[in-house]
């Protein structure tokens, strides 16, 4: 459903992505792993339309989206949980969720969706009125995920959802990712926590400084010696 | 290359530039009109460099620089008029007057800086703007220094040589300051005040010190302006004048002193050149300004500095690599 | 005592105009964090367009207001597109300079286009004169301006707090990229912000020129500056703050002129602003949010 | 005498008691971990120790002397130094300048010497000295090649290392590290552990670190303090903490 | 209107500032420095228009001793530093022999010493500050000085109006306004009157109700407002609004005030240089010519002074018979000319000796009330 064809991305003179291709199929969890600065976030930004690739293209549902504006891509059914959560700090939890549903055309009737996210994240229900900026890191991460779900995405991109979270929350977050996937949402997951990511993913790509160096079914990579040495510690 | 060699090269460059322009003036290739423009540009360089120190280097938005220039101008004028007939040589009067101008402005800078620098960003900007206005309105209302009346009878002590060396001295002082532990401390405040404090920089002290230094040189620019015009029109020191100087700084590149020099020259020449469109001069000037900012949002130089030494090194490298190709 | 109350009334009159202009300032600042120095010139344009609508097109006053607001809104959007949008990722100071450049351009362009002579806003018959209440004279315009500025404040607050586009504005102001990821059209949202802010500026311009019946190319500078100060005083970015700041400024200004000194009044005004900021560094309504370390 | 000691330390933010009754004592050459759920108040404790926040209760003693009320830069002179959870480098300055700035307090030349740099004066001597020291520091972190790059252009992991190098440049006795491994993959985390051990030996410092990566915390800390809702809920060796039911319930999970 | 256009072309042709179309090598070059941009540009443009007209007339009549006159004009933004620059440019690049301008006092004060040193005779049409001409041989002006004007109005107030109590409301950020205010105060008090209020305001102030309310409390009979007409009109409107019952007085800055503010200005008096209803043929010819050249616009006092200044300068060059600075200077000094603003001779300083017209605003018209020497 998502296809990335040989993209090259630059930040000014910095050549961040040097020709990467991969695809994500309906119903999968695909994970991208790789060291700091390998270009994972850059890829997600390119897929979401925040950055435009210099060459190559991105296809969503067989439609080229490389030159479509980010907000239109969201309308097509893609959502992202950005790196570092980036919740709207001065808006309430409720309003953040409303923003998540911004792109939806079925006006107003989101009650079922609120129920769905509150069921997954009961803590958010208690804090509906609280300003997002005053919540703890873990709560903000939950909000960021709930917010993305509010758009009822067909495909969800997640950038390091476990970063900076307490171990107990890390487990919880990974459980929820699996739940979301089971409910029918395709997932592209970027993680530093390679072990956890590979455990829940179906396929994986390993990146190094802007290129794909390895790819394959997740369980195979989990056993790959090179991966073990470099990313699993 | 050793440090002293680099210094020597820079000094040689400056001397050659001086001799060149002096010759052009002497043989009439450049006339009195050109000389006047150069003096004005020089004054603008000093004013803008001082503002760049506060805004580009120290990182504090200061929108009331005209106020410090006013203080410098009045101090220099009052002093030079007071000693007018004492028979001191002109250079001595000039030096003392400019020192007084700078010091007075610096004192005000400290007085204003202590409360104002507790604020940040746009709030600091508006407070400095406010102080600039207060200074100007105070001048209007103080009869002893002439109120709204222009101050007259100031001797003409600034020519090309004086302004050239003044600019060189001011820029040198600022460069030396920036490239020292004190300058690094000031830069670190611009970059991240909390981190600066956490590595042991007394940020309050350096903010006030940086602001006072900036005010000091602004005072000198004001003094130079008074000596160049031989009179002071208090109405000059409005918010718009602060803005004009600010424009030079941003156009040249915040944090780049050489950028300030280039921008002052470019804008100075542009302003004269645009006389041919007469009434449309300011319209076109404003348009060009907007266009320049859109084309180069970080100013002409960004935060980089032009360096003669760097240029020479580049040229050497270039010729060498060419030879290798052969 | 009567004098004092009279001065307060005049202060409210002046302050309500500052408030109206400050609303537009604060609105734009709140969303795009740009001190839009051209806002005062939008005001000037509003005054001109209002004047032209009345004198050239012969429209009635309320219609002239609408025209001025619409044209200013359009100009606001154009200025945003031409001058600010290209600088969205540039250092903030650069955008400040383009704002100043646009301001200079508009002023000087209007000078060469319309000349410097002051044009007089025709008197609006039903706004002329005063109402006397308990020996105090209240100019009729005051009712209109105060009413309109309060109405605008409430409307604006409603838009920003409650409507979808208003929430989008707030999201954009916090994090443009994250807003895009929500499917918010950032360009359109900012454009609407400028349109709204400029429409308020235009309205302010017409009312200002009705209150002081003069229209000239530089008329926006001082009210623009004072409105900006008012916005800062109230807490820039905060809509009720702008309103409050405007009224406070107007009243303080008139009291100083009336009882202390009119030639020092601007100095005193700035002095008070500075004092307030020293004790409340983000304005009267501003929350003192320290940067989280 | 302990290097750092807090008595009943606490702070309240408008009703919210972010930290309370916090007692800790750190001796020389110790390596202590501070863990707890998100929002437990760990970073806030660092902010209290370094003078960013003024405690509303309790006392902080460094070498037996109270540092409460001192400005952050004054606390640096007492020998405390830190890194930040959200990296705070001097982004537009070079890597080497980032480090040199931290030597500020160890340099003494004044304004006069700055403007009149006669040969053989203090200026040249001190500048040459810190240039060498700063480069040595970078070398420890394998960053000597990047000395002249702008620090914002470094990869994330190196930025974290630069923060540590900068903290060390202030010549501290106790270094506070706030999530040094955040955003690093397991391999990089492993390298970081070695570096932390190395600097403790090389600079003879004590270290207090906050971290959510249990492999790192359990791997190198001698003692661990666990807080939740601003209060200490457990103290002990890694083994004890791992098996403490309270900690498992609140933080580690099953 | 076709004729108008034609006339305009003639005017512009003969004195094209850049001299592109008429590169007359032998032309006598006269400089003009006026503000053409910025907040006081309208003064500069009025003066420039009038000076161009004067030059065109002389050129049409065959020039000076057979030579055409070229008027080279530059904008100075009303700024002292810019004035100095353009003065140097006129002298060094354009080689002018004489200078008309600058308009604003402060800029004239900046250029004065340079003109003196360069030996370029200069006549400012409108700089009223006392010091503009003091101590210089080459510097003249075509208008009268602040103290003279302020004093005259005060005298008029006590003698002709019998006022005992007067209030002053002036622009404390303006040299001209402050100068007139001080002179008025001194003379009025000398004549035994009382100044009830001496209130300043800052440039760009638009709201005077507060201070007018304060003045109202002291019950003055006259209110002296020495500022330019727009501010005066604004103040007059608010005088009515706050119900202050006074006779308004002012100086030459009021010129034109009757156009837009007739109603609120009714019954006010001010000092001026000339009155458009003056039947004197010099005045009427000037008005006709100016209207013809500039779309039927009636010239204001600034235009009249600009015209006079140019006429004085051109006549002096003619009399001097050469372009030598010293000769021209001497010729100006000896001026004895019937000009638009009355008969002009010069005193020791280089200030004109001429009458002041006190003008009353009646039903939107300017009526000559008295001529004071
Ligand atoms: N805005 C930017 N400007 C310039 N360079 C950038 C920018 N953002 C990222 N880079 C560079 O592009 C490269 C890839 O960065 P990216 O953020 O995509 O890496 P990542 O794999 O997500 O790393 P991390 O694990 O730290 O999140 C890095 O070298 C980085 O320094
Ligand atoms: N300046 C402040 N004003 C108000 N509340 C604050 C402030 N600083 C911290 N807090 C609150 O104090 C609590 C502790 O925050 P702190 O940043 O210390 O958590 P932490 O333990 O470091 O969490 P994490 O592991 O997510 O970084 C949080 O609830 C936070 O919102
Ligand atoms: Mg990333
Ligand atoms: Mg923390």
How far is ligand 2, taken at its centre, from the CA of residue D39, in Å?
5
* Residues from chain D contacting residue C91 (CB–CB below 8 Å): none
- Whether ligand 2 lies within 6 angstroms of the CB of A56 is answered as no
| Within-domain flag for C189 | yes
Q: Which long-range contacts (CB under 8 A, 24 or more apart) does D240-245 make?
A: D241/D35, D242/D218
Shared-domain flag, residues A163 and A227: yes
Residue B187 has pLDDT above 90, yes or no: yes
Task: Please tell me whether residues A25 and A68 are part of one structural domain.
Answer: yes
Mutating which of C227, C262, C266 best tests the E interface, going by the most E Cβ atoms within 10 A? Answer: C262
> Could you tell me the residue range of the domain that residue A22 belongs to?
2-77+154-232
Residue minimizing CA distance to atom 4 of ligand 2: D13
Task: Share the mean pLDDT of chain B.
Answer: 91
pLDDT, position B56: 93
DSSP state letters, chain D: --SEEEEEEEEEETTEEEEEEEEEEE-TT-EEEEE-STTSSHHHHHHHHTTSS--SEEEEEETTEE-TT--HHHHHHTTEEE--SS----TTSBHHHHHHHHTGGG----HHHHH---TTSHHHHHHHHHHHHHHHHHHHTT-GGGTTSBGGGS-HHHHHHHHHHHHHHT--SEEEEESTTTT--HHHHHHHHHHHHHHHHHHT-EEEEE-S-HHHHHHH-SEEEEEETTEEEEEE-HHHHHT-HHHIIIII--
Give the distance from residue E76's alpha carbon to the nearest chain C alpha carbon, in angstroms: 15
Residue numbers in E near C3 (CB within 8 A): 213-214, 217
Q: Is the pLDDT of residue E2 over 80?
A: no
Residues A69 and A179 in one domain: yes
Q: Which of residues 250-279 of B touch D (CB under 8 A)?
A: 255
Residue C134's pLDDT is 81
Residue nearest to atom 12 of ligand 2 (CA): D18
Ligand 2 site, residue D41, Cβ cutoff 6 A = yes
A118 shares its domain with A167: no
Q: What is the mean pLDDT of residues A135-157?
A: 89
Instruction: Tell me which architecture the domain covering B33-325 has in CATH.
Output: Orthogonal Bundle (1.10)
pLDDT bucket at A233, cuts 50 / 70 / 90: low
In a domain, A82, yes or no: no
Closest CB to C222: pick one of E45, E204, E261.
E204
Contact E39 C13 (CB under 8 A): no
Instruction: Identify the CATH number of the domain in which residue A181 sits.
Output: 3.40.50.300
For chain B, the structural domain boundaries read: 1-30, 33-325
Percentage of chain B with pLDDT > 70? 98
Distance D142 CA to ligand 3 centre (A): 22
Identify whether the C-beta of residue A79 lies closer than 8 Å to the C-beta of residue A149.
Answer: yes
Query: Per residue in D3-26, pLDDT tens?
Result: 999 999 999 987 888 899 999 999
Residues E16-33 have a mean pLDDT of 65
B93 band by pLDDT with thresholds 50, 70 and 90? very high
Local confidence band at E11 (pLDDT 50, 70, 90 cut-offs): very low
pLDDT tier at A83, thresholds 50, 70, 90: confident
* Cβ atoms E77, E39 nearer than 8 A: no
Q: Is B326 helix (H, G, I), strand (E, B) or coil?
A: coil
Residue among B122, B207, B44, E90 nearest C92 (CA)? B122
Count of the separate structural domains present in chain C: 1
Task: Show the CA angle centred on residue C226, arms to residues C221 and C227, nearest 5°.
Answer: 100
With cut-offs at 50, 70 and 90, classify the pLDDT of residue E25: low
Does the CB atom of residue D44 touch ligand 2 within 6 A?
yes
- D contact test, residue of A166, A195, A197 with most D CBs within 10 A: A166
Percentage of residues in chain C having pLDDT higher than 70 = 98
Closest by alpha carbon to A67, among A52, A55, A45?
A52
**Cβ-based contacts of C108 with chain E (< 8 Å):** 37
Judge: C112–B283 Cβ closer than 8 Å, yes or no: yes
- Our answer on whether the CB atom of D223 is closer than 6 Å to any ligand 2 atom is no
Number of domains in chain A: 2
Mean pLDDT of B249-264: 93
Same domain, A72 and A115: no
Indicate if A65 and A6 belong to the same structural domain: yes
Pocket test for ligand 2, best of C290, C291, C292 (most atoms within 8 A of CB): C292
Taking the CA of A194 as reference, the closest ligand is 1
E80 and B37 within 8 Å at the Cβ level: the answer is: no
- The token pair at E155 is 């005298």
Query: Of the CATH numbers 3.40.50.720, 3.40.50.300, 3.40.640.10, 3.30.1960.10, which one belongs to the domain with range D4-252?
Result: 3.40.50.300
Helix axes E80-88, B203-229, angle to 10 degrees: 50
Q: Using CA atoms, how far apart are residues D199 and D187, in angstroms rounded to an integer?
A: 19
CA of A39 to the centre of ligand 1 (A): 6
Q: What number does the ligand 1 atom closest to the CA of A192 have?
A: 25
Residues in Cβ contact with E43 at an 8 Å cutoff, skipping those fewer than 6 apart: E34, E35, E103, E104, E126, E302
Ligand 4 centroid, distance to C82 Cα (angstroms): 42
Chain D residues with CB-CB distance to C under 8 A?
43, 47, 52, 84
- The residues facing A212 across adjacent strands are A207
Closest approach of D222 to chain C, Cα-based (Å) = 27
pLDDT tens digits, C58-117: 999 999 999 999 999 999 999 999 999 999 888 888 888 899 999 999 999 999 888 888
B161 to chain D, any CB pair closer than 8 A? The answer is no
Residues of A with Cβ-Cβ distance to C185 under 8 angstroms: 69, 71
- Residue ranges with CB less than 5 Å from ion ligand 4: D 43, 85
Ligand 3 center to residue E201 CA distance, Å?
Answer: 59
The minimum CA-CA distance between D124 and chain C, rounded to whole Å, is 36
Cβ(D165) to ligand 2 under 6 A?
A: no
Nearest to B53, CA basis, from B224, B237, B220, B198: B220
Same domain for A127 and A114: yes
The answer to whether residue E16 scores a pLDDT higher than 60 is no
Inter-CA distances, A132 with A80, C165, C228, D76, Å: 18, 20, 30, 34
Residue C239 lies in a domain: yes
Q: Within 6 Å (CB) of ligand 1, which residues are found?
A: A 11, 14, 16, 34, 36-42, 83; D 155-156, 183
Nearest-Cα distance to chain A for D14, in Å, is 12
Q: Which residues in D lie closer than 8 A to residue C293 (C-beta atoms)?
A: 43, 47, 52, 84
Share of chain B above pLDDT 90, in %: 67
Query: What pLDDT band is residue A228 in, cutting at 50, 70 and 90?
Result: confident
Closest ligand 2 atom, residue D85 Cα: 27
Q: State the distance from the centre of ligand 3 to the C-alpha of A34, rounded, in angstroms.
A: 10
For residue C125, what pLDDT is reported? 81
C290 C-beta closer than 6 A to ligand 2: yes
Cβ atoms of residues E125 and E33 within 8 Å = no
CA E216/CA E224 separation, integer angstroms? 14
Chain E positions with Cβ closer than 8 Å to C:
37, 39-42, 45, 172, 199-202, 204-211, 213-214, 217, 230, 233-234, 237, 241-243, 260-261
pLDDT at D62: 93
What value does the mean pLDDT take over residues A56-62?
Answer: 91
For residue D40 and ligand 2, the question of a CB distance below 6 A is answered with yes
State the average pLDDT over residues D37-41: 87
Q: Residue E14: which pLDDT band, with cuts at 50, 70 and 90?
A: very low
Q: Are residues D84 and D179 in contact, defined by beta-carbon separation less than 8 angstroms?
A: no
Report CA(B277)–ligand 3 centroid distance (Å).
53
Q: Could you give the percent of chain D with pLDDT greater than 70?
A: 99
The band of B324, judged by pLDDT with boundaries at 50, 70 and 90, is low
Mutate to test the interface with D, among A37, A130, A168, A175 (most CBs of D within 10 A): A168
Per-window interface: A 187-216 vs C, CB < 8 A: none
Question: Does residue A179 lie in a domain region?
Answer: yes
Clarify whether residues A141 and A170 are in a common domain. Answer: no
Asked if B302 has any chain C CB less than 8 Å from its own CB, the reply is no
Residue identifier of the C-alpha nearest atom 2 of ligand 1: A11
| Domain range summary for chain D, segments of one domain joined by + | 4-252
Residue window 95-154, chain A: list those with CB within 8 Å of chain C. 95, 98-100, 102-103, 147, 151
- The DSSP 8-state label assigned to residue C84 in this structure reads I
What would the pLDDT profile of A160-191 be if each residue is shown by its tens digit?
898 888 888 888 889 999 999 999 999 999 98
Identify the domain containing residue C178 by its residue range.
Answer: 2-279
């Amino acid at each position: 459903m998502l296809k990335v064809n040989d993209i090259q991305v630059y930040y000014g003179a910095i050549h961040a992505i040097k020709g990467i291709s991969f695809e994500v199929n309906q119903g999968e969890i695909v994970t991208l792993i790789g060291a700091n600065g390998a270009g994972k976030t850059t890829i997600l930004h390119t897929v979401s339309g925040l950055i435009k690739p210099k060459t190559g293209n991105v296809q969503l549902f067989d439609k080229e989206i490389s030159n479509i504006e980010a907000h239109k891509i969201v309308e097509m059914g893609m959502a992202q949980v950005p790196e570092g959560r980036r919740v709207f700090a001065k808006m309430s939890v409720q309003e953040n969720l409303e923003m998540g549903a911004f792109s939806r055309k079925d006006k107003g009737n989101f009650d079922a969706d609120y129920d769905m996210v509150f069921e997954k994240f009961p803590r958010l229900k208690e804090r509906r009125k609280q300003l997002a900026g005053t919540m703890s890191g873990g709560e903000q991460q939950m909000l960021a995920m709930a917010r993305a779900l509010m758009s009822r995405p067909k495909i969800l991109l997640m950038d390091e959802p476990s970063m900076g979270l307490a171990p107990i929350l890390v487990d919880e977050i990974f459980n929820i990712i699996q739940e979301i996937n089971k409910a029918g949402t395709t997932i592209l997951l970027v993680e530093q926590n390679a072990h956890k990511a590979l455990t829940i993913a179906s396929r994986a790509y390993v990146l190094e400084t802007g290129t794909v160096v390895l790819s394959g079914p997740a369980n195979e990579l989990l056993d790959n010696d090179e991966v073990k040495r470099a990313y699993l510690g | 290359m050793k440090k002293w060699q680099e210094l020597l090269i820079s000094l040689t460059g400056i001397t050659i530039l001086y001799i060149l322009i002096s010759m052009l003036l002497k043989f009439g290739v450049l006339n009195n009109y050109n000389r006047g423009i150069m003096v004005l540009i020089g004054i603008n360089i000093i004013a803008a460099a001082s503002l760049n120190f506060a805004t580009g280097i120290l990182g504090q938005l200061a929108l009331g620089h005209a106020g410090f220039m006013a203080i410098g101008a009045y101090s220099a004028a009052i002093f030079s008029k007071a000693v007018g007939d004492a028979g001191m040589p002109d250079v001595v009067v000039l030096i003392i007057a400019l020192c007084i101008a700078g010091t007075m402005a610096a004192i005000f800078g400290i007085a204003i800086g202590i409360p104002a620098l507790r604020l940040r960003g746009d709030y600091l900007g508006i407070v400095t703007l406010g102080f600039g206005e207060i200074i100007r309105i105070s001048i209007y209302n103080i009869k002893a220094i002439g109120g709204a009346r222009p101050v007259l009878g100031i001797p003409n002590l600034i020519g090309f040589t004086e302004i050239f060396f003044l600019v060189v001295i001011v820029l040198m002082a600022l460069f030396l300051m920036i490239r020292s532990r004190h300058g690094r401390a000031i830069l670190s405040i611009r970059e991240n005040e909390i981190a600066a404090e956490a590595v042991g920089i007394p940020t309050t002290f350096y903010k006030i010190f940086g602001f006072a230094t900036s005010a000091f040189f602004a005072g000198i620019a004001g003094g130079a302006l008074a000596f160049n015009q031989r009179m002071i029109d208090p109405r000059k020191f409005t918010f718009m004048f602060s803005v004009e100087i600010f424009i030079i700084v941003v156009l040249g590149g915040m944090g780049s002193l050489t950028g300030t020099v280039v921008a002052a020259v470019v804008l100075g020449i542009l302003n004269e050149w645009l006389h041919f469109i007469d009434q449309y001069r300011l319209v076109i000037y404003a348009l060009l300004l907007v266009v320049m900012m859109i084309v180069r949002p970080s100013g002409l130089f960004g935060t980089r500095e032009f360096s003669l030494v760097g240029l020479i090194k580049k040229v050497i490298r270039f010729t060498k690599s060419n030879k290798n190709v052969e | 005592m009567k004098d004092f109350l009279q001065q307060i009334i005049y202060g409210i009159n002046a302050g309500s105009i500052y408030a109206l202009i400050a609303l537009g300032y604060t609105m734009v600042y709140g969303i795009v964090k740009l001190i839009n120095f051209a806002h005062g010139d939008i005001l000037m344009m509003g005054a001109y367009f209002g004047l032209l609508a009345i004198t050239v097109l012969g429209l009635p006053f309320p219609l002239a207001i609408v025209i001025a607001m619409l044209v200013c809104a359009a100009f606001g959007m154009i200025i945003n597109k031409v001058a600010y949008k290209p600088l969205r990722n540039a250092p903030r100071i650069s955008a400040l300079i383009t704002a100043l450049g646009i301001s200079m351009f508009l002023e000087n362009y209007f000078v060469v286009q319309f000349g410097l002579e002051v044009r007089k806003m025709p008197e609006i018959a039903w706004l002329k004169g005063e109402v006397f209440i308990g020996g105090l004279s209240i100019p009729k315009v005051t009712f209109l301006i105060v009413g309109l500025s309060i109405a605008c404040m409430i409307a604006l607050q409603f838009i920003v707090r409650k409507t979808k586009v208003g929430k989008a504005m707030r999201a954009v102001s916090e994090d443009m990229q994250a807003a895009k990821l929500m499917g918010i059209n950032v360009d359109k949202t900012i454009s609407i912000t400028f349109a709204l802010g400029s429409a308020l500026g235009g309205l302010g311009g017409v009312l200002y020129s009705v209150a002081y019946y003069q229209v000239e190319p530089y008329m926006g500078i001082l009210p623009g500056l004072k409105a900006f100060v008012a916005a800062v005083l109230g807490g820039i970015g905060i809509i009720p703050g702008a309103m409050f700041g405007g009224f406070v400024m107007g009243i303080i200004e008139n009291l100083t002129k009336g009882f202390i000194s009119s030639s020092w009044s601007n100095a005193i005004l700035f002095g008070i602003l500075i004092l307030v900021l020293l004790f409340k560094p983000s304005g009267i309504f501003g929350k003192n949010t320290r940067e989280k370390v | 005498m302990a290097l750092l000691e807090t008595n009943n330390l606490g702070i309240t933010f408008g009703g919210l008691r972010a930290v309370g009754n916090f007692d800790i004592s750190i001796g020389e050459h110790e390596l202590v971990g501070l863990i707890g759920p998100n929002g437990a108040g760990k970073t806030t404790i660092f902010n209290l120790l370094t003078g960013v926040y003024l405690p509303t209760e309790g006392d902080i003693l460094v070498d037996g002397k109270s540092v409460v009320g001192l400005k952050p830069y004054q606390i640096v002179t007492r020998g405390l130094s830190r890194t930040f959870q959200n990296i705070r480098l001097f982004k537009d300055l070079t890597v080497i300048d980032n480090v040199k700035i931290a030597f500020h307090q160890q340099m003494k030349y004044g304004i006069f010497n700055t403007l009149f740099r006669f040969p053989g004066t203090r200026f040249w001597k001190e500048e040459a000295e810190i240039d060498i020291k700063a480069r040595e520091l970078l070398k420890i972190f394998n960053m000597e090649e990047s000395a002249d790059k702008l620090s914002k252009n470094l990869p994330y992991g190196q930025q974290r290392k630069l923060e540590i190098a900068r903290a060390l440049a202030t010549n501290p006795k106790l270094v506070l590290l706030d999530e040094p491994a955040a955003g690093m993959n397991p391999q990089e985390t492993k390298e970081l552990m070695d570096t932390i051990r190395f600097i403790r030996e090389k600079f003879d410092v004590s270290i207090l670190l906050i971290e959510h990566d249990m492999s790192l915390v359990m791997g190198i800390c001698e003692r661990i303090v666990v807080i939740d809702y601003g209060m200490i809920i457990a103290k002990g060796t890694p083994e004890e903490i791992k098996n403490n039911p309270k900690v498992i319930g609140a933080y580690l999970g099953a | 209107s076709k004729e108008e256009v034609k006339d305009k072309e003639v005017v512009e042709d003969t004195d094209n500032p850049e001299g592109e179309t008429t590169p007359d090598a032998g032309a006598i070059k006269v400089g003009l420095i006026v503000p053409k941009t910025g907040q006081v540009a309208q003064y500069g443009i009025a003066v420039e228009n009038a000076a161009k007209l004067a030059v065109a007339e002389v050129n049409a009549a065959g020039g000076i001793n057979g030579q055409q006159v070229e008027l080279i004009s530059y904008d100075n933004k009303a700024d002292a530093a810019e004035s100095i620059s353009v003065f140097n440019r006129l002298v060094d690049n354009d080689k002018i022999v004489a200078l008309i301008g600058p308009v604003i006092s402060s800029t004239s004060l900046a250029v004065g010493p340079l003109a003196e040193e360069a030996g370029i005779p200069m006549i400012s049409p409108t700089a009223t500050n006392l010091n503009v001409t003091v101590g210089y041989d080459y510097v003249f002006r075509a208008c009268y000085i602040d103290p003279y004007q302020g004093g005259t109005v005060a005298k008029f107030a006590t003698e002709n109006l019998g006022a005992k109590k007067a209030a002053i409301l002036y622009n404390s950020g303006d040299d001209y306004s402050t100068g007139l205010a001080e002179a008025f105060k001194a003379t009025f008090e000398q004549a035994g009157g009382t100044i009830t209020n001496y209130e300043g305001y800052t440039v760009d102030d638009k709201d005077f109700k507060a201070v007018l309310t304060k003045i109202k409390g002291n019950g003055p009979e006259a209110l002296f407002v020495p500022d330019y007409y727009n501010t005066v009109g604004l103040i007059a409107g608010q005088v009515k609004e706050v119900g202050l019952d006074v006779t308004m007085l002012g100086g030459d800055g009021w010129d034109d005030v009757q156009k837009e503010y007739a109603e609120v200005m009714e019954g006010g008096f001010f000092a001026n240089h000339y009155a458009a209803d003056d039947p004197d043929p010099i005045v009427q010819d000037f008005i006709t010519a100016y209207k013809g050249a500039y779309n039927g616009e009636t010239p204001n006092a600034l235009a009249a002074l600009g015209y006079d200044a140019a006429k004085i300068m051109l006549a002096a060059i003619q009399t001097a018979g050469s372009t030598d600075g010293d000769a021209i200077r001497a010729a100006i000094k000896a001026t004895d000319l019937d000009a638009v603003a009355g008969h002009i001779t010069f005193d020791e300083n280089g200030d004109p000796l001429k009458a002041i017209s006190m003008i009353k605003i009646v039903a939107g018209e300017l009526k000559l009330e008295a001529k004071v020497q």
